[in-house]
Structure 1
Amino acid sequence: MLRRKPTRLELKLDDIEEFESIRKDLETRKKQKEEVDVVGISDGEGAIGLSSDPKSREQMINDRIGYKPQPKPNNRSSQFGSFEF
């Protein structure tokens, strides 16, 4: 393995200004998202997710992540293939 001298990183004024602007953008987005969440809960949208039956909650989660479960077959031949007993 070759060893090299450590490089020196310098923090410039432009870098600091860019960081501050990005941080402010993220903070404003976070505040807007929190306001939307608070409005959604007061309108009753949040209450649906909390108090509904587990099937619909599971369905909401599956829709959100894009999971589409396949129905399970109930007959014995599908469980064991084409074996004869």
Structure 2
Amino acid sequence: MIRRSPTRIEMRLDDLQEYEEIRKAHEAKKDPEKKSSSSMTPPIWGGKVPQSEIQERIGYIPQQHPPTHNRATT
């Protein structure tokens, strides 16, 4: 159920330039990894992928939570 009318989103030239910069930076970051991992080693399918890699792929940045209790040490 839509409670309000959809908002129109317009792309500006600044938005496209920012996107290109981010994309190039991301590709530059990936290129060295791709070259070093392509040294005749096949990809491991069905292997355990580290959770940090999964979080990086989806853009999740876990926040560190401070302890919720204060334990007195005596």
TM-score, structure 2 length as denominator?
0.46
Q: Of the two, which has the highest radius of gyration? A: 1
Of Structure 1 and Structure 2, which has the larger fraction of its residues in helix? 1
TM-score, structure 1 length as denominator?
0.41
